[in-house]
Amino acid sequence: MLPTSMTNMSEPSGEWNQVEVAGHTCRVFEPAIPSPHGYVVVYLHCSHGASLRRYPSFTRNFEQHGLRIIEPVSGLSWWTDRIWPEFDERFSAEAYVLKHVLPYIAERWNAKPPQLALLGISMGGQGVLRMAYKYPYIFPTVAAISPAIDFQKRINEGIDEGLALMYRDSEDARQDSALLHIHPLNWPRHQFFCCDPTDFRWHDSAERLRMKLWSLGVLFQCDLQTVAGGHSFEYASHMATRAVGFMAESLEQERRRVI
């Protein structure tokens, strides 16, 4: 159980700051009273690059659970393991998280798996799912809000030059989507995803994810019924308590599991 001082916060009192990691900006949140177990959430932003500091519902929940947050900034990288030159010509956004952000977390906060969780919205939502499916031993806890899983659609529609540079065609992108990285015997132990049913662009792919996980017998939680604004930060803010609470509980389960 969390200390009373951490569970009765009425207003956020932690601090957001900006740091540089391997030549790139990361935004960092330090709660007033961090969890004594050193939990850290890596947040992968949406295509607009907006920080969660703009949305009090997230900060309030981070504060309540004592979660430290780090937000790498990668532009329209789609968090793939492909080079996106506008981000970096040396390494991909995925490699940046694994090879630079995680060592920074370990050095600054002495946190390492399974103390880490992934959180993402839209572009970042599909990014966290893909990373968790590829590296479940590093990220056993993941939460995705409005995940843009079928991101290959944007190539077909000709509205994303970045994806067209990173992939030969839409089929090449589809083969690298989160759905195609699910391993039936090796998956993150704690996963939550949600999508507003009026989110006509991305809800179908979230439903396919639900069906695939269910058919494989993979454990997960999801909410594909709640209507709260479609594909928007209004919806994301509405789901903040559910998603952040899920991560906090799952991180605690992981801690007890390894003791």
Q: In the chain, how many domains are there?
A: 1
- pLDDT per residue over 30-80, tens digit each? 999 999 999 999 999 999 999 999 999 999 999 999 999 999 999 999 999
Q: What is the pLDDT of residue 259?
A: 55
**Chain-wide mean pLDDT for the chain?**
93
For residues 198-210, average pLDDT: 97
d(CA 199, CA 231): 5
Mean pLDDT over residues 127-135, rounded? 98
pLDDT of residue 160: 80
The neighbour count for residue 41, using CB atoms within 10 Å, is 24
CA dist 20 and 236 (Å) reads 27
Tell me the DSSP string of 99-158.
IIIHHHHHHHH---TTSEEEEEETHHHHHHHHHHHH-TTT--EEEEES----TTHHHHTT
- Domain of 36, CATH number, reads 3.40.50.1820
- pLDDT attached to residue 162: 84
Return the pLDDT at 2: 34
pLDDT of the residue at 13: 80
- Domain of residue 153 covers 4-258
Strands 221-223 and 190-194: parallel
Arithmetic mean of pLDDT, 14-39: 97
Measured distance CA(57)–CA(77) in Å, rounded: 26
- pLDDT tens digits for range 1-13: 333 333 344 454 8
Q: For the whole model, what pTM was predicted?
A: 0.93
Residue-level pLDDT at 258:
62
